[in-house]
Amino acid sequence: MKYGVNKQILLITAGAVWITAGINILRIGIITWLNNSQDWMFKIGEATVVFLLFFVLIFKRLYYKHTRRIDEKKKTRNCPFSFFDVKSWIIMIFMISLGITIRSFHLLPDSFISVFYTGLSIALILTGILFIRYWWLKRKVNWG
């Protein structure tokens, strides 16, 4: 590859993508939450369960997988999109498409969307923060 980025940029990009996705999903969750604000204490509990399931069982493992993979990359000239592997890109495209389809065709009630999206978004944002934190801790290390 003639042009590329270093490992630090891959980590920052990964963090930014996860945080941006999380903020966008949080926006949708909050909008649907405000349109259907009854039983909010119960919804907070449900959103917490969604957060814990996604963060602990899925996203935290992906964070470790991708930081390990980025650490093993060349020092420079990496593809700017290589902060994810091909499988992760396919899963991300599928999840985005599924979310758009579900909302466009109203396949699930707003009460579910508000809880699910809020919990999911916080897990995404926290994972993005982990990538940025990892970059911050490794920023002065001369990765070889």
pLDDT tens readout for residues 39-51: 888 999 999 999 9
> Residue 67: its pLDDT value, please?
96
* Stronger pLDDT, 74 or 30, i.e. the higher one: 30
Stretch among 30-39, 46-55, 66-75, 79-88 having the lowest mean pLDDT: 30-39
Whether residue 17 contacts residue 89, with contact meaning beta carbons closer than 8 Å, is answered with: no
> Residue 74: its pLDDT value, please?
83
> Residue 21: its pLDDT value, please?
96
Taking the domains of the chain in order of start, what are their residue ranges? 7-71+84-142
For the chain, the distance separating the N- and C-terminal CA atoms, rounded to the nearest angstrom, is 18
CA–CA separation, 50 and 136 (whole Å): 28
List, in sequence order, the alpha helices (H) in the chain.
7-35, 40-54, 60-71, 86-104, 110-138
**What percentage of the chain reaches a pLDDT higher than 70?**
96
